Chains A and B, each alone.
Chain A
Amino acid sequence: MKFLNLPEKRVFLDMNWTLVLAVLILFFVGLVNLYSASSMRLESGITHAPFYSRQLMWGLLGLMIMSTCAILSYKMVERFAVVVYVFTIFLLLLVPIMGKSVYGAQRWLDLGFFSLQPSEIAKFAVLLMGARFLAGDGEALGWFGLFKILLIGFIPFVFIVQQPDLGTGLTVMFLVGGMALFHGIKWKVLRTCLIIIPLCLPLAWFALHDYQKERILTFLDPTRDPRGAGYHIIQSQIAIGSGEITGKGFQAGTQSQLRFLPEKHTDFAIAVFGEEWGFVGSIGIIILFCFFLFAIYSTVSEAKDRFGSTLCAGIFFYFFWQIVVNIGMVVGLMPVVGIPLPFISYGGTSMAVNCGLIGLVLSVSMYRYVFKS
């Protein structure tokens, strides 16, 4: 078994090109939007911050990561799942000991030549480990099985939340849960869970930090602190809403150009888009994301083994979660959680992780017919 399967031409053609297309469109829409978001109107005219050019660089880097992951044999990757998982737990353990603090959160490991965020690697680790565990058999999960798969997510979750980074922690738990649901849970077990989980939510409230509680309260009523925490929520809805049907036009959004909109390069990038392209543009981008998710879905449904299919389903939930939380936050349907919008928000780390995951999906899609021959 080869570690790298340099594909034959036919296999290459089998790759999920729809997904590649969707990612590229999203990336370029994001880039254009970022160009507008990084322009600033001053008295002297418009200047641009260099966000869009750096994002282009991140994109190229991402493309390389995506290609690398795509030609990795995911069957090989499956073998290393346990090693990757244990190593990740080890890194997560290191963070509180020797990690560096940025903005009051300790998330980074300084490796000298570059900094690493073990919580990002944890996404891969949990996906691989979860998929590997679920690939064992096709039986619906019973109590013990459900416990084990949730534990796979829960161990890194505890470390990540300690950093604190509730957003990433919840992402991990969500994709584990998504994979379990995709795999199938015994009806009896699922039914009980559906009853118990809502009852446990109030308990979770007491585990939250004060600032996290504050965010949730502010989400429920932004006007309780219109100049502080509620400011983001109010200004972002004003930005989107004021775009009306056709938008204010490229680089013409007053909310973003005059910097009333916070975090417009990263978490609130979609608000810039909504303001400048209006309802038409917003629907366009939603359709684009549905197209993107559907492209992943097609690989899930066409994969020819349980590991590949479950892995892609996990990746599907990973992106689904980010899209829902980010856009939900920007349009005021969700509390403010610092989760970027895939391919639209500025950021090198998330770009690299996202491209890596897409690469894995492509790998699964490429090898779906290999076993036939």
Chain B
Amino acid sequence: MQLKLESNTYIPPVHGLRLLQIAIVFLFIIFCARFWYLQVHRGEDFARLAFENRMRYEKTFAARGEIYDRNGMLLAENHIAFGIALVREDTPDIDASLAQIGEWTNLSLETIRERYNDNKVHAQIFDPIFLVQNLPFEVIVPIQAELNEWPGVQIIPLPIRNYPQKHNFAHIMGYVAEAKPEELKKDPNLALADIVGRQGIEYVLESRLRGRKGLKRMEVDVLGRILKNSPIQEAKAGNNIVLNLDAKLQEGVSKAMGDHSGSVVVLNPDTGAIRAFVTQPSYDNNLFVTGFSQKEWDAVRNHPRFPLQNRTIQSIFPPGSVWKLMMVGMLLENGIDPKETVFCNGTYTLGDRVFRCWRKGGHGQVDMEKSIVSSCDVYYFVMGESMGIDKMEQFARASGFGSKTGIDLPHENKGLVPSRDWKLRRFKERWQKGDTVNASIGQGYILVTPIQLAVFIGALINDGKLLQPQLLASEKPYINGFLPFRDEYKEMIKEYMVKTVNSGYGATARILHRDDMTIGGKTGTAQVVKIKMVGDRRKKNEEMDFYERDHAWMGTWGEKDGERVVVVTMLEHGGGGASAAGPVTRDIYKLLFPIEKE
């Protein structure tokens, strides 16, 4: 064939060929270097990332420890409820899923979205974000059926705390709640939607009750489908706790108190074990777990008598005449002869101030025994003033007042033992003799908690040991200190208390008298406002506004067949110690030591 050739001598452009050669070398060098960097230099890093990609760790819940009373009655248990959660990384359409969850649960989209936005901040990658909690089984069943169509949406069974005793133990149990962001930040063991104790025993014993979560490792594909599931660590349930309290007694005491607000402590004086610990009014602590309705919350928050207040340890009151027990101890230790008498004509005058005895006509000649049994005020006005506030402060502190008893509950108040320094600091005023006179009968500045008085009375009959009150059955007795009274003096005080109950005419705690056991007691009527007169008689409590009525105290101990108890009753604005606190205390002794029928 004949072809017109361009040329037989065509030579490709040299620079062009060089360009192609360079291109090949360039490609080789660049990619070899890059592969070396990725696969050799940083290979281990990427291998770890690839491993983390497919391995997911999931925590398994540990059951929170249960709480029982001394007889094995359940006080706090776990029910199973269900929560709906969403894993962002597995959810193709988050908005639609949120809307669907709202539809399932009858919650508004805004509520769900708000929960989502609040919670996602603290969620790590692949963490389920809880949107709804505490759903019962009936609600969950139909949702479960549709779940396949909503990847990323999970139903997670969650234990929910239940307190079968409700009001009866609300202040002691406290409650649990979902961990707050601050708590999550502080405690690495906490994850989203975990519950933590917020109040009471639940709060104090958090670490023992919580247990330890388990860990599961799962191999998943990119859609989060689980291919392999291997537990790494089993969940360990929290410890069960047994309390010294007696649920039946607790309920009985509550009934005995009727409509009164106030506090009752029943204590074993030998061990410090608390057998009953009642505060009224109370609330249903389950509502803190499941959530208050607005109406329920308003009812609790706006209640005129503050049901959330734990009166036994958080409220402080003037002790009134119960204080005289401490005073007697102090007088004896300071060499006052119990036979020494003071004449009581119903008033005591200091300068231009007149201090009145509760008994208008006076008690006549009063010695120490009579001062307790008939609770004469003038005796203590005279004696207290002669002792002075400094001694009184010293003995009061040594008797456990003005400091916490160390009970296993949060927010204990330490009360107040006044002193010269204290008044100067607090009011920028010098201590007056009149202040001492007032303090002598447990009025004025002195403030105590019911639990402090119970510990003090316990120490009178247990050889002086100021014991830490114990809610937990497992705790050994712990001695905070010793009463600064000699044994013979304590015996005398005990005897006076028994006489206050048992002697005939004039015994202020006569209402407690029982033939089958020994009870010692001391009444107290703590004024809230100055005594008001109606004409020439004192205004009666029933005639006063509730918040101006006296606080009624009854500090007692009882013994039968070697078993001893301390019962302290405090009725807030309850009126007279004997008339209001007396019957309540009597009923409590009936519960503790039932009267045998012949």
Show the binding face of A for B, using Cβ within 8 Å.
Answer: 1, 41-43, 135, 138, 181-184, 227, 235, 237-245, 254-255, 258-260, 274-275, 278-279, 282-283, 286-287, 289-290, 293-294, 297, 300-301, 303-307, 309, 313, 316-317, 320, 323-324, 327, 331-333, 370-372
Q: Which of B8, B12, B28, B89 contacts A227 (CB 8 A)?
A: B89
Give the number of A-B contacts (CB < 8 Å): 158
A260 to B50, CA, bound (A): 9
**B13 is an interface residue with CB less than 8 A from chain A:** yes
**CB<8 Å pairs between A and B, sample of 18:** A42-B221, A138-B13, A181-B19, A238-B49, A241-B47, A241-B50, A244-B39, A244-B44, A282-B35, A286-B32, A287-B28, A293-B20, A303-B12, A307-B6, A313-B20, A327-B31, A331-B34, A370-B3
Contact of B39 among A235, A243, A327, A372 (CB under 8 A): A243
Given A242-B46, A258-B54, A305-B6, is A279 in contact with B23 using a C-beta cutoff of 8 Å?
no
10 more contacts with CB within 8 A, not counting A243-B39, A286-B27, are: A41-B227, A43-B226, A182-B19, A241-B45, A241-B46, A245-B43, A259-B221, A279-B43, A283-B32, A305-B6
The answer to whether A297 touches B21, judged by C-beta atoms less than 8 angstroms apart, is: yes
Across-interface contacts of A255 in B (CB, < 8 A): 50, 53
Closest to A181 in B: B19
Say yes or no: A244-B32 contact (C-beta < 8 A), given A258-B222, A290-B27, A313-B20.
no
Q: Say yes or no: B20 contacts A242, CB within 8 Å.
A: no
CA distance A180 to B44 in the complex (A): 44
- Does B5 sit within 8 A of A, measured CB to CB? yes
A333 pairs with B12, CB closer than 8 A: no
Closest B residue to A246 using CB positions: B39
Residues of A within 8 A of B21 (CB): 297
CB closest chain-A residue, reference B15: A184
Would you call A182 and B16 a contact (CB within 8 A)?
A: yes
Supposing A258-B54, A286-B35, A333-B34 touch, asked if A41 and B43 sit within 8 A by C-beta, the answer is no
A323 and B46 contacting across the interface, CB-CB below 8 Å: no
Residues of A within 8 A of B43 (CB): 241-245, 279
Please tell me if B139 contacts chain A, counting CB pairs below 8 Å: no
Contact (A279, B36) CB under 8 Å given A241-B43, A320-B27: yes
B39 touches A306 (CB 8 A): no
Q: Which one of A43, A183, A286, A372 contacts B225 once the chains associate, using CB atoms below 8 Å?
A: A43
Which of chain A's residues have a CB closer than 8 A to the CB of B301? none
Is A238's CB under 8 angstroms from B225's CB?
Answer: no
Smallest Cβ-Cβ distance to A184: which chain B residue: B13
Q: Contact check: which of A184, A279, A293, A307 meets B16 at CB < 8 Å?
A: A184
The yes or no answer to B10 lying at the interface (CB within 8 A) is yes
Q: Are B50 and A238 in contact (CB under 8 A)?
A: yes
- In the A-B complex, list the 10 residue pairs whose CB atoms are closest, starting with the nearest: A241-B46, A244-B43, A242-B50, A182-B16, A279-B39, A258-B221, A259-B222, A282-B35, A241-B38, A242-B47
Chain B contacts with A in 37-67, Cβ cutoff 8 A: 38-40, 42-47, 49-51, 53-54
Give Cα A256–Cα B16 distance, bound, in whole angstroms.
40
**Nearest CB to that of A289 among chain B residues?**
B27
Identify A283's interface contact among B8, B15, B35, CB under 8 A: B35
Interface SS of chain A: helix
Query: B23 touching A320 by the CB < 8 A rule?
Result: yes
Docked Cα-Cα span, A181 to B443, in Å, equals 107
B424 interface contact, C-beta 8 A? no
User: Is the CB–CB distance between B40 and A309 below 8 Å?
Assistant: no
The interface centre, meaning the residue of A183, A245, A260 with most chain B CB atoms within 10 A of its CB, is A260
Residue of A nearest to B39 (CB): A279
Please tell me which one of the listed residues B15, B27, B50, B226 contacts residue A254 in the complex, with CB atoms under 8 A apart.
B50
Assess the B12–A301 pair: CB atoms within 8 A: yes
CB distance from A139 to the nearest CB of B (A): 11
A193: min CB distance to chain B, Å? 15
Interface residues on B, range: 35 or more
**B42: chain A residues within 8 A (beta carbon):** 241
C-alpha gap A241/B54 in the complex (Å) = 15
Asked, given contacts A244-B39, A245-B40, A255-B53, whether A372 binds B8 with beta carbons under 8 Å apart, the answer is: yes
Q: Mask for B210-228, Cβ within 8 A of A = 1, else 0?
A: 0000000001111101110
Contact B27 A323 (CB under 8 A): yes
Q: Once the chains are docked, how many angstroms separate the CA of A274 from the CA of B39?
A: 8
Identity of the chain A residue whose Cβ is nearest the Cβ of B30 in the assembled complex: A333
Q: Residues of B contacting A182 with CB < 8 Å?
A: 13, 16, 19-20
Inter-chain CA distance A258–B224, complex, in Å, is: 10
Cα–Cα distance between A85 and B191 once the two chains are bound (Å): 66
For the complex, is B145 an interface residue (Cβ under 8 Å from A)? no
B54 & A254 in contact (Cβ 8 Å cutoff): yes
Q: Which residues of B contact A242 (CB under 8 A)?
A: 43, 46-47, 49-51
How far apart sit A234 and B533, CA to CA, in the bound complex (Å)? 87
Residues of B within 8 A of A258 (CB): 53-54, 219-222, 227
Q: How far is the CA of A247 from the CA of B378 in the complex (A)?
A: 98
Nearest CB to that of B20 among chain A residues?
A: A297
Taken together as a complex, chains A and B put the C-alpha atoms of A194 and B40 apart, in Å, by 36
| Across-interface contacts of B54 in A (CB, < 8 A) | 254, 258, 260
Give the residues in chain A near B121, CB-CB below 8 Å.
none
Task: Report chain B residues within 8 Å CB of A304.
Answer: 8, 10
Interface centre among B30, B47, B53, B226 (most CB of A within 10 A): B53
Select from chain B the residue with minimum beta-carbon distance to A287. Answer: B28
Q: How far is the CA of A309 from the CA of B19 in the complex (A)?
A: 14
Residues of A contacting B47 in the complex (Cβ-Cβ under 8 angstroms) = 241-242, 244
State the CA gap A280–B116 with chains docked (Å). Answer: 47
A1 to B, closest residue via Cβ:
B3
Q: Quick check: A240 and B225 within 8 Å, CB to CB?
A: no
Q: Is the Cβ of A371 less than 8 Å from the Cβ of B35?
A: no
Which residues in chain B, 200-243, are within 8 Å of chain A measured between CB atoms? 219-223, 225-227
- Quick check: is B529 within 8 A (CB to CB) of the other chain? no
The closest CB in chain B to the CB of A241 belongs to B46
In the assembled complex, the Cα of A43 lies from the Cα of B19 at a distance in Å of 52
Contact of B24 with A by CB under 8 A: yes
A279 vs B35: C-alpha distance when bound (angstroms): 6
Contact status A294-B46, CB under 8 Å: no
- Say yes or no: A241-B27 contact (C-beta < 8 A), given A258-B222, A260-B222, A303-B12: no
What residues on B are CB-neighbors of A138 within 8 Å?
A: 13
Alpha-carbon distance between A300 and B219 when the two chains are bound, in angstroms: 52
| A309 nearest in chain B by CB position | B12
Assembly CA distance A194 to B17 (angstroms): 20
- With beta carbons under 8 angstroms apart, the residue of B6, B17, B27, B221 that contacts A293 is B27
Q: B227 near A331 (CB under 8 angstroms)? A: no
A260 to B15, CA, bound (A): 45
Residues of the B chain whose Cβ atoms lie less than 8 Å from the Cβ of A235 = 53
